[in-house]
Amino acid sequence: MKQGAIDELVKQCGSIYKPVVIAAKRAKELSEGGQKLVDTDLRKVTSIALEEIRQGKVRCDVQEEAVKSSRKKERKEKEAVSSGGRRKS
């Protein structure tokens, strides 16, 4: 991937780490038979995944929302355990 494209991903996602993690998950989906969301001659699933993010077909903020939701669920479970299985009202 060219430096300009990398800079574009960083600008879109806010850090270099988000697109890497999201692209890895998307590449796994592609390798397991998922359909490409972009028209490209690229063959490597990681390159395709990064291109999908660059073109806005896969969004960076989706992952962030999933993480927030997961953390909220974990907090509720911890509260339930600490209160002896009873949920707080």
User: Is residue 19 a contact partner of residue 13, using CB atoms and an 8 Å limit?
Assistant: yes
Contacts for 58 with CB less than 8 Å, ≥ 6 apart: 22, 26, 37, 49, 52
- Residue 8 CA, chain-centre distance (Å), reads 16
For residue range 60-70, list pLDDT tens digits in order: 875 455 555 55
Q: Which of 28-32, 55-59, 85-89 has the highest mean pLDDT?
A: 28-32
For the chain, what are the domain ranges?
A: 3-60
Taking every pair of Cα atoms in the chain, the longest distance, rounded to a whole number of angstroms, is 57
What CATH superfamily is the domain 3-60?
Answer: RNA polymerase subunit, RPB6/omega (3.90.940.10)
For residue range 33-66, list pLDDT tens digits in order: 999 999 999 999 999 999 999 999 998 875 455 5
